[in-house]
């Protein structure tokens, strides 16, 4: 079934539903939360009862400017007839145990396991919000300022401010349409990039001291320990962009951040030009994009053991994709 047919089928199901849950993956990023929140005003205008759910608590503070951010809850309603998931590659990352009565799965990750009753997956899209936008446009749904602000924010964050390979003319046409709907790009930019926390800057200083180069300078590791987080007063949100800044080193093709978590060691992978880091993440039960992916390595591992494991995978990725 082609995407246009899926768009129509999804909205037919939405029209039939009365009580709808909008859900995004645990530890949501801008695309996950922005995409789910973008549908809130649209469904409310259609007269639906709407719950925006995310299992993570607390939510990322840098996204607190999004319209209806305060509507997001970690309490799943007992009775609902439709769930719509956003930006989530597999059911286990939704943070719920029981299958919903009916699930529409909207995503742009090529690794999506198609766990929904309707699966709208477009790997060519730069963000899940672009899939939502295309779905709304195809069905003649009006996108107001609040929805547009959420979609635009999701697009900006998932394209690295329009820096990634996924950016094409369709991305800029969508962005322009969002501005026509009332989005203020300068406001969104200030909210996303000019509200830095002092704790993050202190964490950066400590993290940069751990940078280790390998593979003849084509790869780099950076470490975040629990102790660093405690000393600096940093929170998980403060670690989000560290791996990107390590990738910015001139010779680096693959950057990898290792963060010590309660579950194990969280790995965040980024590539610059050609390497497919999603394959590395998938090997360890994670996933993501060709240029940005991640996983959590559980068990009795320390940073050195994990780095030694990953070095072989990174060497292979550098060789295969050159």
Each residue's pLDDT tens digit, 97-130: 999 999 999 999 988 999 999 999 999 999 999 9
CATH code, residues 198-321: 3.10.310.30
Helix (H, G, I), strand (E, B) or coil at 212: strand
The string of pLDDT tens digits covering residues 234-257 is 999 899 889 999 999 999 999 999
Mean pLDDT over 283-302 rounds to: 89
- Confidence at residue 111, expressed as pLDDT on a 0 to 100 scale: 85
Q: Where does CATH 3.90.1640.10 sit in the chain?
A: 3-193
Strand partners, 119: 105
C-alpha 241/C-alpha 248 separation (Å) is 11
Contacts of 59 (CB under 8 A, 6+ apart): 28, 33, 69, 72
pLDDT, tens digit (0-9, with 9 covering 90-100), for 128-178 = 999 999 999 999 999 999 999 999 999 999 999 999 889 999 999 999 999
pLDDT confidence tier of residue 82, bands split at 50, 70 and 90: very high
pLDDT at 322 over 90: no
308-320: pLDDT as tens digits: 999 999 999 999 8
Rounded mean pLDDT, 269-288: 93
Residue ranges of E strands in the chain: 19-24, 49-53, 72-73, 82-86, 103-107, 118-121, 212-214, 219-224, 254-260, 265-271, 287-288, 292-297
Q: What is the mean pLDDT of the chain?
A: 95
pLDDT exceeds 90 at position 289: no
Instruction: Give the model's confidence band at 85: pLDDT under 50 very low, under 70 low, under 90 confident, else very high.
Output: very high
Q: pLDDT at position 301, please? A: 83
Residue 58: Cβ within 10 Å count: 10
Q: Each residue of 230-267: b (16+ CB within 10 Å) or e? A: eebebeebbbbbbbeebbebeebbbbbbbbbeeebbbb
pLDDT given for residue 240 in this prediction: 87
> Is the CATH number 3.60.21.10 carried by domain 3-193?
no
Tell me the whole-structure pTM to 2 decimals.
0.90
> What pLDDT is attached to residue 300?
79
* pLDDT over threshold 80, residue 53: yes
Q: Are 267 and 306 in contact (CB under 8 A)?
A: yes
Q: Which residue has the higher pLDDT, 218 or 320?
A: 218
- At residue 299, does pLDDT exceed 90? no
DSSP structural state of residue 99: P
Portions of the chain given CATH number 3.10.310.30: 198-321
């Amino acid at each position: 079934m082609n995407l246009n047919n899926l768009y129509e089928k999804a909205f037919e199901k939405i029209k039939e539903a009365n009580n709808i849950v909008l859900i995004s993956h645990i530890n949501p990023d801008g695309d996950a939360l922005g995409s789910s929140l973008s549908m809130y005003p649209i469904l409310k205008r259609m007269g639906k009862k709407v719950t925006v759910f995310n299992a993570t608590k607390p939510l990322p503070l840098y996204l607190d400017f999004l319209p209806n951010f305060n509507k997001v809850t970690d309490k799943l309603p007992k009775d609902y007839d439709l769930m719509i998931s956003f930006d989530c590659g597999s059911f286990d990352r939704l943070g719920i145990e029981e299958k919903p009565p009916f699930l529409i799965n909207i995503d742009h990750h090529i690794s999506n396991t198609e766990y929904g009753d309707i699966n709208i997956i477009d790997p060519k899209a730069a963000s899940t919000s672009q899939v939502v936008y295309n779905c709304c446009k195809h069905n003649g749904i009006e996108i107001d300022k609040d929805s547009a602000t959420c979609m635009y924010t999701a697009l900006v964050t998932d394209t690295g401010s329009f820096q990634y390979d996924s950016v094409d003319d369709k991305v800029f046409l969508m962005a322009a349409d969002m501005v026509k709907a009332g989005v203020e790009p300068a406001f969104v930019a200030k909210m996303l990039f000019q509200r830095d926390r002092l704790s993050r800057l202190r964490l950066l200083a400590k993290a940069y001291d751990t940078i280790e180069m390998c593979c003849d300078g084509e790869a780099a590791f950076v470490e975040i320990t629990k102790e660093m987080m405690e000393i600096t007063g940093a929170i998980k949100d403060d670690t989000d962009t560290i791996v990107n800044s390590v990738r910015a080193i001139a010779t680096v093709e693959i950057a990898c951040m290792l963060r010590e978590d309660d579950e194990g060691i969280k790995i965040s992978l980024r590539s610059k030009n050609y390497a497919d880091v999603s394959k590395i993440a998938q090997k360890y039960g994670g996933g993501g994009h060709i240029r940005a992916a991640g996983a959590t390595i559980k068990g009795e591992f320390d940073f050195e053991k994990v780095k030694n494991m990953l070095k072989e995978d990174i060497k292979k990725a550098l060789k295969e994709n050159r």
